[in-house]
């Protein structure tokens, strides 16, 4: 239902040290399950970029806006969902662990989506 695609890692400077970077993109083949599953925390300070907060839960998929939010509303919710992001790690082992956790969390989201479809049906059971 959701495909995660990772690009080859790159190496570069990050906060006065070396780090490894990997771009990840999500795509969905299901119309009512958005591919925008990565929750970012909006950073409005100059020079700061929005950061990955988590992979969206099924509830967050309906509650959080896609793309950069409108920060003029009340209350202001500084979180939003996108379909691509960059993982940053200080070792290749850490980067691989982040990738594995991302896959696990995506599977949990798909499982929750499937459960929501099953539980939205009306069923009757006679227990004797």
> pTM of the entire structure?
0.83
Q: So what's the pLDDT on residue 53? A: 87
Parallel, antiparallel or unpaired: strands 79-82 and 38-41: antiparallel
- Which alpha helices (DSSP H) does 27-91 contain, by range? 58-63
Q: So what's the pLDDT on residue 46? A: 64
The full set of domain ranges for the chain reads 2-119
At residue 70, does pLDDT exceed 70?
A: no
């Amino acid at each position: 239902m959701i495909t995660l695609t990772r690009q080859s890692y790159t190496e570069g400077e990050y906060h006065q040290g070396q780090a490894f970077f990997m771009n990840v993109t999500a795509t969905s083949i299901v119309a009512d399950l958005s591919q925008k599953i990565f929750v970012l925390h909006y950073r409005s300070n100059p020079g700061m970029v929005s950061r990955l907060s988590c992979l969206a839960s099924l509830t967050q998929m309906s509650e959080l806006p896609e793309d950069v939010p409108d920060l003029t509303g009340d209350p202001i919710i500084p979180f939003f969902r996108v379909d691509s992001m960059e993982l940053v790690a200080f070792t290749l082992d850490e980067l691989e662990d982040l990738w594995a956790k991302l896959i696990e969390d995506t599977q949990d989201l798909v499982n929750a989506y499937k459960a929501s479809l099953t539980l939205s049906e009306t069923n009757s059971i006679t227990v004797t």
